[in-house]
A = this chain, B = another copy of it.
Amino acid sequence: MEAQIDEILKKNQLSVTGSRKRILELFLMSNGALAHGDIERKTGEKFDRVTVYRTLQTFLEKGIIHTIPTSDNSVLYALCKDDCTEGHHHDNHVHFICDKCGKTICLADVHVPQVKLPGGFLPQEYQMVVTGLCAECR
């Protein structure tokens, strides 16, 4: 894991610092989406809130993570797949958000079906979010 983290950071020409390593580690472990608040909590507020904002922003710009659309006003972040490049994501699996426990789960095996759009639209990214109850909460 340690090596993997370093590799990701170096591949994106980022300095390997404590906060970046820790936050990246959280994403690798969680195997799902994290909100800003999750990260603050899981790091035990060890890092300044501002640092978390800036780290997430940096990861976004480098294409290491991406945002996930949600119906409520929260912003979720999740790791990109390897074939994501700066500004171009291929995160084409479905996300499930549990109404009860609030957890967001990446359904890596469920692909987003490509729908046919009316003429004129130039689609770039398809995202699908399913809400309901997860296996543990139902």
Contact = CB atoms under 8 A, between A and B. Distances in A.
Given A73-B75, A110-B115, A128 B131 contact: no
A135 B121 contact: yes
Interface in A1-39: none
Interface string A54-81: 0000000000001111111101000000
A130 B107 contact: no
Contacts of A138: 120-122
Interface of chain A: mostly helix, strand, loop or mixed: strand
25 contacts: A66-B71, A68-B71, A69-B70, A69-B127, A69-B129, A71-B125, A72-B75, A73-B73, A94-B115, A96-B117, A96-B123, A99-B124, A110-B115, A110-B116, A111-B115, A113-B113, A120-B134, A121-B132, A121-B135, A122-B133, A122-B138, A123-B132, A125-B130, A126-B130, A127-B130
